[in-house]
């Protein structure tokens, strides 16, 4: 059977399209060069992260926060203010046209989320009594958000729980650190962070439940210098978060990132809100 020139050209063109449309092909060439061993990787990440004793940042947010019980959604786009200090201290406030629409917070003892507008509810719990099933009734998990920043120091005792295990992803050119714990009947992974090989900046955070299911996925992008001048001290300015258990999505874009602003944050910046917190319904998730 013979093909004329037109048929041959069409077949060749189709093959080119099929090969060119292979979506599984990496967007860049895989990296197979030298990499750091775990101890050196932890040391270099800590050299940056231990310098971050506090953070103050403002910017914008886009949220679709779904109450898993009522299925009501608190949605909006507006202004965001982030406060952070190590050891679980975090406060994130969202406003629309000057009106507060939500607050997410955590200190060393407790965590909370307040959704105003139609939801009109505050959820709170104790870190000491944390129960993933109870915490799962929140639209988003405040106890997890501090992990997303990826700026905490890593324990240098590599055998202490949760202990880190290192893998390297050649296609993504990234270090993949997973933190693991021993349960009563097995080992389980708690957290996974991907660090770019060249910059050692975090670009993906995955948090898991005891059955290995993702409870929070966060893409970290657009890393910017803290205080605007130190290129060696950067954190992500973009956070794209998804909470599979509730379907909530939460995106934050930071514009101005500093260690502090007029002495804020400080310890009292993370005080637990009053019992009412200006809403009609208060739920203690671990009661």
Per-residue pLDDT tens for 242-266?
A: 989 888 899 999 999 999 999 999 9
Specify whether the CB–CB gap between 239 and 218 falls below 8 A.
yes
- What's the mean pLDDT when you consider all of the chain? 86
Residue 19 is predicted with a pLDDT of 47
Q: Name the residue among 224, 220, 187, 193 with its Cα closest to residue 206.
A: 193
- What's the pLDDT tens digit per position in 162-187? 999 999 999 999 999 999 999 999 99
* CA dihedral of 164, 167, 169, 174, whole degrees rounded to 10: 40
The pLDDT confidence band at residue 16, using thresholds 50, 70 and 90, is very low
Specify whether the CB–CB gap between 216 and 205 falls below 8 A.
yes
Q: Between 85 and 277, name the one with better pLDDT.
A: 85
User: Within a 10 A sphere around the Cβ of 115, how many other Cβ atoms?
Assistant: 26
Residue 9 is predicted with a pLDDT of 52
- The mean per-residue pLDDT over the stretch 81-105 comes to 91
Span of 106-115, 132-141, 278-287 with lowest mean pLDDT? 132-141
The pLDDT confidence band at residue 132, using thresholds 50, 70 and 90, is low
Residue 264 is predicted with a pLDDT of 96
Instruction: Name every residue whose Cβ is closer than 8 Å to that of residue 175 and which is 6 or more positions away in sequence.
Output: 35, 36, 41, 166, 167, 168, 169, 194, 195, 197, 200
Residue 154 is predicted with a pLDDT of 94
Structure tokens at 278: 């200006």
Residue 131 is predicted with a pLDDT of 60
Q: Which of 16-20, 28-32, 40-44 has the highest mean pLDDT?
A: 40-44
% residues pLDDT > 90 (the chain):
56
Residue 63 has pLDDT above 60, yes or no: yes
- The mean per-residue pLDDT over the stretch 212-229 comes to 92
Residue 26 is predicted with a pLDDT of 56
Residue 196 has pLDDT above 60, yes or no: yes
- The mean per-residue pLDDT over the stretch 214-228 comes to 93
User: Within a 10 A sphere around the Cβ of 215, how many other Cβ atoms?
Assistant: 17
């Amino acid at each position: 059977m013979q093909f004329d020139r037109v048929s041959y050209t069409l077949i060749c063109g189709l093959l080119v399209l099929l090969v060119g449309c292979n979506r599984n092909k990496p967007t860049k060439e895989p990296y197979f060069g030298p990499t750091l061993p775990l101890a050196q990787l932890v040391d270099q990440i800590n050299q940056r992260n231990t310098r971050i004793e506090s953070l103050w940042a403002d910017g914008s947010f886009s949220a679709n926060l779904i109450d898993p019980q009522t299925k009501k959604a608190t949605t909006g786009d507006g202004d965001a203010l982030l406060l952070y200090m190590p050891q679980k201290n975090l406060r994130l406030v969202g406003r629309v046209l000057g009106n507060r629409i939500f607050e997410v917070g955590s200190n060393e003892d407790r965590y909370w989320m307040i959704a105003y507008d139609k939801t009109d509810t505050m959820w709170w719990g104790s870190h000491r009594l944390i129960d993933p099933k109870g915490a799962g009734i929140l639209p988003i998990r405040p106890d997890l958000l501090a992990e997303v920043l990826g700026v905490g120091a890593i324990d240098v005792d590599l055998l202490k729980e949760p202990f880190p295990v290192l893998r390297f992803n050649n296609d993504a050119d990234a270090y993949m650190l997973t933190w693991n714990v021993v349960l009563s009947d097995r080992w389980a992974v708690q957290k996974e962070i991907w660090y770019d090989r060249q910059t050692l900046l975090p670009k993906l955070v995955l948090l898991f439940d005891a059955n290995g299911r993702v409870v929070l996925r966060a893409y970290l992008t657009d890393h910017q210098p803290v205080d605007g001048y130190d290129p060696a001290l950067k954190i992500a300015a973009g956070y794209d978060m998804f909470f599979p258990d509730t379907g909530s999505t939460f995106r934050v874009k930071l514009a101005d990132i500093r260690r502090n602003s007029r002495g804020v944050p400080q310890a009292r910046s993370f005080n637990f809100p009053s019992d009412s917190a200006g809403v009609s319904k208060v739920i203690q998730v671990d009661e």
